[in-house]
Chain A
C-alpha cells in the first residue's frame, strides 16, 4: 500500500508533461479531465496511503521509498527518495485534497480563458513540485521542489501575460523569493561543509552531535534556512511580494498563495527542527518575526480596497501565527494551524473569486455591496470562512488552532507575555478586518450588477471547504474542552512536543475565554464601524500608511531598487568596453593629428624635408 507513494507526486508531473506538450490540441474537456483528474487520483491515493499508515504504521512511523542515487560526489550522495511520516502525510493530504477542490473550481473559473490547458499544466507542475518538496528525503530534493514551486508561482502570477503589470508582479515575487532562496542555498552549503550530508534524518541526528548548543555555525545555518523560509512564506522583511501576487487568477491565489507554497517555509522549519532547537536565538527571532508580521499585516489589511489584497495580507498575518508557534517551540500547533488555515483561506479565496467573476471582474470592495441575498451560497460559505479566520469561539475550526497557538505563546518556556499579547491583539485586528470585508462586500446598497452566476463546479468545492472549516478543529480539542489531542498525538511522533509550564487547566480555560471574548469584541467593533455607518474609502494619513503595507515597498524602492538601477544605467556602456573603445578613440585621435601634417602644401613638405635633414644630421654626426 505504502509503495504507491511514488505515484502521488508523479501523477501530477505526468499530467503536466502531457498537457504541456499536447495541451493545445486537446479539447477543453479533455484538458480539464486530465488536469483535475490527476490531482484527484493523487488525493485518492493519499487517502488510501494515509489510512494504511495510520492503521498499520511502519516501524518508527517512517517510510522511505528510494528510487536512485542522484549523484555521488566526495561522499555526498543525495538520492531521489520519498519519505513518509506523519508530518509529510498531513501536508500531502492538504495539498492533494485542497488542490483537487481548487482544480475543480478552476475548470469553471477558467472555462472561457484561452490558455486553459496551459493553466492546468502549470497548476499540475506546481502540485507535483510541492509534493516533491514535502516528500523529499534530503534537503537537495527539497530545494528542487522549492525552486519548482517558485517557478510555477512566477508562471501563474503572470498567467495573463499580455498585461505587463502582471508580468511585473510575477517578477517581483520571483526576485524577492530569490533572495530567500539564495540564503537557503548558502545554508545548504554550510550544512554540507560541516555535516557532510543533506539527508534530513542524518542532519537531525548529526547536528546535535557535531555542534554544541548555540554554536556559531548552528546559528548561521539556522539563520540562513530561516532566510529561505522568510522569502517563500512572505514574512518580514520579504513580505512585499504577496499582495502584488494577487494579479494572478483566484484559483492560483487560493492554491499557491494561501494553502501551499507560502507554507513551505513553515514546513522547512518544522522539518529541520533540530537545527533550530540548537540555535535558540534564531528560534526567538522566528517568534519575534512572526509576531511582528502578524501585526503589520493585520493593520495593513484594515485599509485595503481590493478584496484579494485583504485576503493576501490576512495570509501573511496567519503565517505569522504559524511562525510564532514555531518560534515558541509549539511545532504541532503550527502544523495544525497550517491545516485549518489551508481550509478556510482557500475557501475565502475561491469565494472571493466567485464574487469577482460574478461582478464582471470587479475587485474593489467599495464598488460591491448588497449582494448578500443575490448570491446566498457564496455569502454563507464566505461567512463561514471568515468566521474561522476570525476564530469565532467553539464552532469554527480556526478557534481551536489559533487558541492553541496563543496558549503555547504564553505557556511555553520560550514564549513570553509580549508574544501572547501580540497574538491576542492580532486576533482582535483579524476579526475587525475580516468582518469589515464581509460587511462592505455583502451588505449595504448594491453598486454593481451581477453577471455570471456560479455553477456546480464552483459551488461544490466551496461547500466542502466550508464544512471542513467548521469541523476540522474537532480533531484537536484542548484540555479544557474534552482533551482530544488526536492531531498533535499523531504529528508529535516526529516533531518535538511543546513543553508546557504546568498542566493548569484553569489557566488554560481563562486564556481561552479571553481569546474568545477578543474575537467577539472584534466582530462587534466591525459591526459598529462598518455596518451602522456607511463605510467610506478613507484617505487620511494613517489609512494611507496602512494601505501601502506600512511603506515597505516605498522603503525598498529607495534603498535597493533605485541604487541598482542607477548602477546599471551608468554601466550601460559596459565600462570594460571603455578599454577597447578607448583604444579605438585614441587611435582615431592620433590619426587626426597625422592628417594635419598632410596639408597638401608644397612649402610645408619642403620644410619637413629640411627639418628631417637637420634631425638626421644631428643624430648621425653629433650624437
Chain B
C-alpha cells in the first residue's frame, strides 16, 4: 500500500538518529545524506517530483558535499573522534530526550483527526511546470530576495574564509589571522 511512504520514512528516522549519535563527523554526514535521499523518495510519493529532484541535487549534492569538504579541511583526526566518544555519555541524552518527547507528543496530539479535521489526500502530481509558474508569478519577490540572500552568503563566506597574509611580529606568531 503505502510502502513507498513508510519504508523511506523508517529509513529517514533511523538514519537521522544515527546522524546524531555518531562520533565520527564524516560518518554522520554520510548518514545524513541517506536521510536526505529517503526524504526525496517521500517527496516523490507525495507527488512533488520537482521538490524531490531539488532535494537530491542541491541539498544532498551541494550542501552536504560542502559540509564534507569543510570537515576534511578541519583535519580533525583521531583524538577529536576519541574526544567526541568520551563526551557522549548516556546522561546527556536524558534532558533533551524528555523535552523533545513531550514536544513530539504534543505535535501528535495536534495532528489527531478530532483536532483540526484534516483528512485524506489526492494522489495527484504537481509538475515542475506549475512550480515554475508559481515561482515567477506569485512569489517573484521571494525569488529576488533569496537571490540577495545567496549573494550575501557568498560575500560572507568569501570574506570569512580568507586567509590574510599579515605581517606579525614573531612574538605573536602563535596566533593565526
Contacts and interface: CB of A to CB of B under 8 A. Distances in A.
A614 B96 contact: no
Nearest to B106: A617
A160 to B, nearest CB: 73
B95 A614 contact: no
Nearest to B96: A607
Interface stretch (B58-66, B71-79, B97-105): B97-105
A294 B113 CA distance: 107
Contacts of A618: 106
A189 B4 CA distance: 106
Contacts of B103: 610, 613-614, 617
Contacts of B99: 607, 610-611, 614
B56 to A, nearest CB: 29
Interface string A116-127: 000000000000
B20 interface: no
Nearest to A603: B96
A443 to B, nearest CB: 97
A617 to B, nearest CB: 5
A392 to B, nearest CB: 105
For the residues of B in contact with A, the DSSP-based class is helix
A71 B4 CA distance: 110
Contacts of A570: none
A22 B97 CA distance: 92
Interface string B94-127: 0110011011001001100000000000000000
Interface string A584-622: 000000000000000000000001001101100110011
21 contacts: A607-B95, A607-B96, A607-B99, A610-B96, A610-B99, A610-B100, A610-B103, A611-B99, A613-B103, A614-B99, A614-B102, A614-B103, A614-B106, A617-B103, A617-B106, A618-B106, A621-B106, A621-B109, A621-B110, A622-B106, A622-B109
Nearest to B95: A607
Nearest to A615: B102
Contacts of B102: 614
Interface of B: 95-96, 99-100, 102-103, 106, 109-110
B110 to A, nearest CB: 6
Contacts of A621: 106, 109-110
Contacts of B109: 621-622
Given A607-B96, A614-B106, 7 more contacts: A607-B99, A610-B96, A610-B103, A611-B99, A618-B106, A621-B110, A622-B109
Contacts of A610: 96, 99-100, 103
Interface in A571-591: none
A387 to B, nearest CB: 103
A608 to B, nearest CB: 10
Contacts of A607: 95-96, 99
Kindly name the residue among B100, B103, B109 whose own CB sees the greatest number of chain A CB atoms within 10 A.
Answer: B103
B111 to A, nearest CB: 11
B112 to A, nearest CB: 12
Nearest to B110: A621
A618 B103 CA distance: 9
Interface size class of A (residues with CB under 8 A): under 10
B9 to A, nearest CB: 23
A607 to B, nearest CB: 7
A611 B100 CA distance: 9
Contacts of B106: 614, 617-618, 621-622
Contacts of B96: 607, 610
Nearest to B92: A603
A621 B116 CA distance: 11
A618 B102 CA distance: 10
A596 B76 CA distance: 33
A4 B110 CA distance: 109
B117 to A, nearest CB: 15
A621 B99 CA distance: 17
A610 B100 CA distance: 8
Contacts of A614: 99, 102-103, 106
Nearest to B102: A614
A611 B99 CA distance: 7
A607 B109 CA distance: 22
A282 B40 CA distance: 113
Nearest to B100: A610
B133 to A, nearest CB: 36
Contacts of A622: 106, 109
A622 B102 CA distance: 13
Interface in A178-195: none
Interface string A495-525: 0000000000000000000000000000000
Contacts of B100: 610
A611 B101 CA distance: 11
A235 to B, nearest CB: 82
Contacts of A617: 103, 106
Contacts of B95: 607
A538 B93 CA distance: 90
A458 to B, nearest CB: 91
B103 to A, nearest CB: 5
Nearest to A611: B99
A37 B102 CA distance: 103
Which 3 A-B residue pairs are closest in the complex by CB-CB distance?
Answer: A610-B99, A617-B106, A614-B102
A622 B105 CA distance: 12
B135 to A, nearest CB: 31
A618 B105 CA distance: 11
Nearest to B103: A614
A52 B96 CA distance: 112
A35 B155 CA distance: 99
A596 B95 CA distance: 18
A614 B98 CA distance: 11
Interface string A337-365: 00000000000000000000000000000
A618 B106 CA distance: 8
A607 B100 CA distance: 10
B93 to A, nearest CB: 13
A532 B107 CA distance: 117
A448 B106 CA distance: 106
A614 B109 CA distance: 13
Kindly name the residue among B95, B96, B100, B102 whose own CB sees the greatest number of chain A CB atoms within 10 A.
Answer: B102
A378 B109 CA distance: 116
Kindly name the residue among A607, A611, A614, A622 whose own CB sees the greatest number of chain B CB atoms within 10 A.
Answer: A614
A605 to B, nearest CB: 13
A617 B111 CA distance: 13
